[in-house]
Amino acid sequence: MAFERSEQLYQEAQDVILGGVNSPSRAYKGVGGGTPVFMKKAKGAYFWDEDGNHYIDYLAAYGPIITGHAHPHITKAIQEAAEDGVLYGTPTVHENTFAGMLREAIPSLERVRFVNSGTEAVMTTIRVARAYTGRDKIIKFAGCYHGHSDLVLVAAGSGPSTTGNPDSAGVTESIAKEVITVPFNDSEAFKEALDYWGDDIAGVLVEPIVGNFGIVEPKPGFLEAVNDLAHEAGALVIYDEVITAFRFMYGGAQNLLGVEPDLTALGKIIGGGLPIGAYGGKRAIMEEVSPLGPAYQAGTMAGNPASIKAGIACLEVLKEPNVYENLDQLGEQLEAGIRNAADKHNIPVTVNRLKGALTIYFDIDEVSNYEDAENSNGEMFAYFFKEMLKRGVNLAPSKYEAWFLTTAHTKEDVRKTSEIVDKVFSNWNN
C-alpha cells in the first residue's frame, strides 16, 4: 500500500492546523507516530483513503458509527434536516420526540437536556451534582476518560486520601484539589476515599463499563458498592455512558447491569454521527438546571434539528430486531479469529470483549483496571496496528481503545479480518 497522498496532506495540514490534526489521538502518537491516513470516503464498514486504498473499519469514529458509515436511513434524515433548516434557536417537536425515546430506553433519564458533545454532557452533570449537594469535590476512576473539561483532566494523587494533580497544562492546582481518583474495580479504595472525603463529595463519576482503557467490565458488586457507599455519604452517582449507551443493547449499560445512577451523560451513538451530547437524571436533581434552577447551562447549537433528527434515525435503526444479537455474534466470531491466530503463532494476547466491542492487549494476562492496561505491551500493539493498517484494516491508533463492530460489518468482513490477523501474527517482527 502506498500512502503518498496522505503524507503530502499531513505535511500541508501541519502548516495550517496545529499538529496537523483536530484531535490529538489522530496523530498516531499512541502508536509511536507516523503519518495518519487521510480518509476520503466512508460507506458501511469501509473506508477509502486519499491514495485509493481500501479498509475494513473498526474505529467507527471512536464509537458513534454503530450503524456503519452513511447508513441510508440516517443519511435521509440528515438530508431532510438540511432541506428544512439545520439550526433554529427555538424549540422543535423533534427534541420532544428524541428526549422521549431516550427516556423510554433509559428510564433513569426522567428529565433530559441536549448539548453538543460528551465533554459538555459530563461537565454539566458535575455542575448539577455540585449544585444539588452544595459540595465541591468529585471522585473519578483512574484511566477513565470523560472529555476535556478541566475537572476531568486531573491525574490520580498518591492514594485515596490525596487529591489529584493537573493532567494537562492549563489545569490549575486548585481545580486538581477538587478531584480524587481511585482505581476502577477497587471497592476498598473507593470506600477509603469516601471515608476520608465523605462530606465533601458532590458526585462520583464512573464509566459503568469502561471503554477508555479498552473494554473493561465492572467486577460483580463493584457498581452496586459505588452506588450504596456514595449514597450513604450523600454524594450523587454519575454514569458517563458516552461510549456505552446503545452500544451493548437498546439502552444504557445501566439497563444491562441493572444499576441505576442519579445522573447520566450521553454522546457519540445518540447523534447518529453528528455532534451531540445529552445529560439527564432524576427529576428533582435535574430541576437544579436553568431555566428552572440556579445551575446554568446553555447552548446555541444545543438540540439542533440536524443532530436530533440523525439521532432519532440512528435509534430507529438500532430498534430493529436482532441488531444487538448480530453484533454479539460478529464480536464472538472476531474474538475467536483473534484468539485462534494468537494461539497458533504463540502471540501473548488477552482479548476483553463485550458483545460488539473488544480490545486486544499484548503481553498481559488480565486487564481489570488502568494499571493492567498500562502494563500491556504498547510496542507490540503499535507494530500490530501498523501491520493491520498496511493490510487494509483500520483500528484505533492506541492500545487503550476498542474495536467496534457495526451493523454494516458482515461475517465475511470478520473472516477476512481474522485472516489478516493470522498473517500479521505469522510474520511477527519479520
Residues classed as catalytic = 145, 240, 268
- A 10 A CB-CB count for 72 gives 12
Q: At what angle do helices 72-84 and 305-318 cross, to 10 degrees?
A: 160
Q: Please answer whether residues 204 and 235 qualify as being in contact, where contact means their C-beta atoms are separated by less than 8 angstroms.
A: yes
Site size with ligand PLP, rule: CB under 6 A: 15
* 187 near ligand PLP, rule: CB under 6 A: no
Q: Please answer whether residues 335 and 329 qualify as being in contact, where contact means their C-beta atoms are separated by less than 8 angstroms.
A: no
What are the backbone dihedrals phi and psi of residue 398, each rounded to the nearest 5 degrees, phi first?
-165, 140
* 397 near ligand PLP, rule: CB under 6 A: no
**Taking the complex as a whole, how short is the minimal distance between the CB of residue 19 and ligand PLP, in angstroms?**
17
Question: Which residue, 23 or 429, is less far from ligand PLP as judged by CB?
Answer: 23
* 146 near ligand PLP, rule: CB under 6 A: yes
* 266 near ligand PLP, rule: CB under 6 A: no
* 143 near ligand PLP, rule: CB under 6 A: no
What are residue 125's DSSP bridge partners?
none
Alpha carbon distances (Å) from 313 to 58, 307, 318 = 22, 10, 9
> How is residue 269 written as a grid cell?
451513538
Element (H, E) at 112: strand 111-115
**Taking the complex as a whole, how short is the minimal distance between the CB of residue 108 and ligand PLP, in angstroms?**
17
Q: Which of residues 189-208 bind ligand PLP (CB under 6 A)?
A: 207
Q: At what angle do helices 305-318 and 323-344 cross, to 10 degrees?
A: 80
Among 36, 143, 147, 218, binds ligand PLP (CB under 6 A): 147
**Taking the complex as a whole, how short is the minimal distance between the CB of residue 242 and ligand PLP, in angstroms?**
3
**Taking the complex as a whole, how short is the minimal distance between the CB of residue 171 and ligand PLP, in angstroms?**
16
**Taking the complex as a whole, how short is the minimal distance between the CB of residue 340 and ligand PLP, in angstroms?**
30
> How is residue 302 written as a grid cell?
444545543
* 351 near ligand PLP, rule: CB under 6 A: no
Stretch that binds ligand PLP, among 97-105, 141-149, 294-302, 385-393 (CB under 6 A): 141-149
Stretch that binds ligand PLP, among 75-83, 144-152, 166-174, 176-184 (CB under 6 A): 144-152
Element (H, E) at 7: helix 4-16
Specify the amino acid at residue 13: A
* 376 near ligand PLP, rule: CB under 6 A: no
What are the backbone dihedrals phi and psi of residue 239, each rounded to the nearest 5 degrees, phi first?
-95, 125
- A 10 A CB-CB count for 27 gives 20
Cα–Cα distance between 308 and 95 in angstroms, integer?
A: 6
* 212 near ligand PLP, rule: CB under 6 A: yes
* 52 three-state secondary structure: coil
Q: Which of residues 89-118 bind ligand PLP (CB under 6 A)?
A: 117-118
Minimal CA–CA distance to 14: which of 26, 1, 2?
26
Contacts 24+ apart (CB under 8 A), 288-293: 288/128, 288/131, 288/132, 289/113, 289/124, 289/128, 289/131, 293/131
Cα–Cα distance between 267 and 253 in angstroms, integer?
A: 13
**Taking the complex as a whole, how short is the minimal distance between the CB of residue 267 and ligand PLP, in angstroms?**
4
* 242 near ligand PLP, rule: CB under 6 A: yes
Q: Which of residues 60-89 bind ligand PLP (CB under 6 A)?
A: 62
Q: Please answer whether residues 261 and 281 qualify as being in contact, where contact means their C-beta atoms are separated by less than 8 angstroms.
A: yes
Among 183, 211, 305, 356, binds ligand PLP (CB under 6 A): 211
Nearest position to ligand PLP, beta carbon: 118
Q: Which of residues 24-63 bind ligand PLP (CB under 6 A)?
A: 62
* 217 near ligand PLP, rule: CB under 6 A: no
Question: Which residue, 102 or 233, is less far from ligand PLP as judged by CB?
Answer: 102
**Taking the complex as a whole, how short is the minimal distance between the CB of residue 409 and ligand PLP, in angstroms?**
21
Question: Which residue, 209 or 414, is less far from ligand PLP as judged by CB?
Answer: 209
* 125 near ligand PLP, rule: CB under 6 A: no
**Taking the complex as a whole, how short is the minimal distance between the CB of residue 184 and ligand PLP, in angstroms?**
12
DSSP β-ladder status, 357-362 and 349-354: antiparallel
Interface positions with ligand PLP (CB under 6 A)? 62, 117-119, 122, 145-147, 207, 211-212, 240, 242-243, 267
